Amino acid sequence: MQIRNPKDLVAGLLFAAFGVLAVVVSSSYAMGSASRMGPGYLPRALGVLLIAFGAALALRGLRPGAGARVRWNVVPLLVVLAAVGLFSVAAKWLGVVASTLLLVVVASAVSGEFRWRESLISGLVLGAAAVAVFVYALGIPLPVWPAFVGR
């Protein structure tokens, strides 16, 4: 049997795995009934739904037929992971805004549709959003700007 759509297969297996995890974790909680739900009712029901949807999606990816051969490209994955690692190291010295900008530019540079202007604008908007959420709303003590800019 040839894998027709590997993306559907992998997504379906991930959905099913998260569903199994939800069912296993919630199995120690009381189930209750539909009229009087216990703490394990909703997680278990959602886990079963995830398993069902995941199985349907995985089976859809395994349908026999002349599927297109998909070539896996690991370079973009490694560059994005490296960009996240670079962010985690640079955030202490460059601040959240500059580190987020760096993350977005490096991660989007591997795309064939990369444009400097869009990448810079996205990085600045995401940096501002990160500051608003993490520094101001949640009160996490992260530097906003690089240390050499001052406070």
The predicted-structure confidence for 119-136, as pLDDT tens digits, reads as follows 999 999 999 999 999 999
The model's pTM: 0.56
Does residue 87 lie within any of the structural domains?
Answer: yes
Within a domain: residue 147? no
Are 85 and 42 members of one domain? no
Structural domains in the chain (count): 2
Q: Are residues 89 and 123 in the same domain?
A: yes
Residue with more model confidence, 37 or 52: 52
Q: Look up the domain containing 41 and give its range.
A: 6-61
Classify residue 149: in a domain, yes or no.
no
- Cα 146 to Cα 44, 82, 98, 129, distances in angstroms: 46, 21, 7, 17
Cβ neighbors of 127 (< 8 A, separation 6 or more) are: 96, 97, 98, 99, 100, 101
Query: Do residues 50 and 94 share a domain?
Result: no
Q: For residue 18, which of 42, 39, 40, 49 has the smallest C-alpha distance?
A: 49
Number of H helices, E strands in the chain: 4, 0
